[in-house]
Amino acid sequence: MSIELNAADLSRVIEMAWEDRTPFEAIEQLYGVSEPDLIKIMRRELKAGSFRLWRARVSGRKTKHLKLRHPEINRAYCPTQYKR
């Protein structure tokens, strides 16, 4: 993996990886981190149990892959996620 992220970007990438509605493609577009590289980052940065929970959570989840999403879903997050 040749992607170097500063602490703030690394924190944001991990946060986005945990979000159910943020697809891997959005993370790659914003930070240049592919799904395999993201898995390596998560394995390195999370505790073993947390990593296993994350992998179980995102494996097969339709919202984490743009190609698997329903075509009518065109947002990356829930409208109530960011309260004003």
Q: Provide block-wise average pLDDT over 10 residues at a time, the chain (84 residues).
A: 84 92 88 94 97 90 62 57 50
Please give the model's pTM, rounded to 2 decimal places.
0.74
pLDDT score recorded for residue 21: 81
Q: Which long-range contacts (CB under 8 A, 24 or more apart) does 8-11 make?
A: 10/41, 10/45
pLDDT score recorded for residue 70: 54
The domain ranges of the chain are 7-68
pLDDT score recorded for residue 66: 59
